[in-house]
Amino acid sequence: MCLGIPMQIINIQGYNAQCEAKGIRREVNLFLLQDEAIIVGDFVLVHVGYALQKMTSQEAQTTWELLDQLMAPT
């Protein structure tokens, strides 16, 4: 539940955004980033459905790789 997942914004409607991570789409709430300039294509760190921070595509990529390693069957 504390796990932050990087997601890319696909479209924005008010405080709601469709975001994608590795082909999976979810609704994400942008309320906590209301004071930031957020545009489609940005990467955000998502916790329990809420974006907490903007991040770079490179940081998103590194985190996805980590999650792939941790989630892989051992």
Partner 1 sequence: MIAQEWLTKIRALPQNSPCKIMNVCGGHERTLSLGGVRTVLPAGIELIPGPGCPVCVCPEEDIYAAIQLALREKVVVATFGDMLRVPINAGKQTVRSLEQARAKGAKVHPISSPLEVVALTQQQPQQKIVFFAAGFETTMAPLAAMLAQGIPQNLSILLSGRLTWPAVAKLLAMENDPVLLPARKETVNPSHSRIFDALVAPGHVATVMGTGEWEFVVKQHHLPVAVAGFTVEGLLAAFYSVLRQRAEGRCFLDNCYPQVVKPAGNLTAQKCLKETMNVVDAQWRGIGCIPRSGFELKDRQIDARYQFPDYTSEGRERRGEMPAGCECAQVILGRIYPKECRLYGTACTPRHPIGPCMVSDEGACRIWWSAGLK
* Residues at the interface with partner 1 (CB under 8 A): 1-4, 15, 27, 29, 31-35, 45, 47-50, 52-53, 55-56, 59, 62-63, 65-66, 69-70, 74
C-beta of 11 vs 35, nearer to partner 1: 35
Rounded Cα–Cα distance for residues 32 and 34 (Å): 6
Task: Find the shortest distance in angstroms from Cβ 53 to partner 1.
Answer: 5
The terminus-to-terminus CA distance of the chain in angstroms comes to: 22
CA distance 14 to 60: 24
Nearer to partner 1, 4 or 10 (CB): 4
